[in-house]
Amino acid sequence: MNIFYTSGTTGTPKKIVHSWKYIQKCAQSAIDLYGYSKESNVLNMYPNTSIAYYSLTSYPAQLAHSNLHNYYWNPYSFKDVFLDFNPTHIGCTPRQISILMKTKGWDLVDFQNIKIIIGAEKVKQELIDLLIAKGAIVFTTYGSTEFPPPVLTGINTEWFSLSSTYDISFKDKELMVEGIPTGDVFELRENSCRFIKRLSTVSSQKTWKSFSE
């Protein structure tokens, strides 16, 4: 079993329990979506306390036998690590990218054809466009500790495709995953959706277990 804890942004932090089999299922979805392989160089900047570390980057890369570098986040050494490792994939948060853009080495970084798997926070289109201008292919990802990503994915846009390996639906614009409310509100289009906000009140469960194996 794998035990995670939420940040407590919507109340008291919850203990989240996911089976290893379930984490593997999420990781395999990431392998299929992002094209991890033996030839991939995966630069992971998510901390090992994050669900994204296990479901989006580090663990999927291990399953795919990719060349993996778990990078202890330091914006001032990023340029050197990037140039030395020559990544094909980068997993990071929008906040990390925003900080990197203010460093002196940012202009020297070329993201041509690199897949950037970005999540954990709301991603603005302006940030995505800046990465695209540097040659990146940007995968925006929705998920949470309760519902490990990738639940929803967009490519080069803040709008997520409604195609998912999960059973998803909406109730008063709140996303439901496998019939369970996520506490997250989305703006809806015919074939896509965009994250708007997290409700102040979500499930009061102190312990959350995988809803699906």
Q: Per the structure block, which two tokens stand in for 160?
A: 């997520």
17 inside domain? yes
| Average pLDDT value for residue range 166-176 | 92
What does the alpha-carbon distance between residue 125 and residue 196 come to, in Å, rounded to a whole number? 13
Mean pLDDT of 142-152: 87
Q: Would residue 213 count as lying in a domain?
A: no
Q: What is the pTM (predicted TM-score) of this model? A: 0.89
Number of domains in the chain: 1
- Work out the pLDDT band at 142, boundaries 50, 70, 90: very high
Position 111 in a domain: yes
Tokens of 39: 């030839």
8 Å CB contact between 138 and 116: yes
b/e map of 148-165 (b: 16 or more CB within 10 Å)?
A: bbbbbbbeebbbbebeee
In a domain, 14, yes or no: yes
Cα dihedral 86, 125, 169, 27, rounded to 10, equals 10
Mean pLDDT, the chain, as a whole number? Answer: 87
- Asked, for residue 210, whether it belongs to a domain, the answer is no
Domain that holds residue 64: 2-203
Residue 141 C-beta-side C-alpha neighbours within 13 Å: 32
**CA–CA distance, 69 with 81 (Å, rounded to integer):** 9
94 lies in some domain: yes
Residue 211 within a domain = no
12-57 pLDDT, tens digit per residue, is 667 777 888 888 888 999 999 999 999 999 999 998 888 899 999 9
Q: What is the CATH number of the domain that holds 107?
A: 3.40.50.12780
Q: Is 162 inside a domain boundary? A: yes
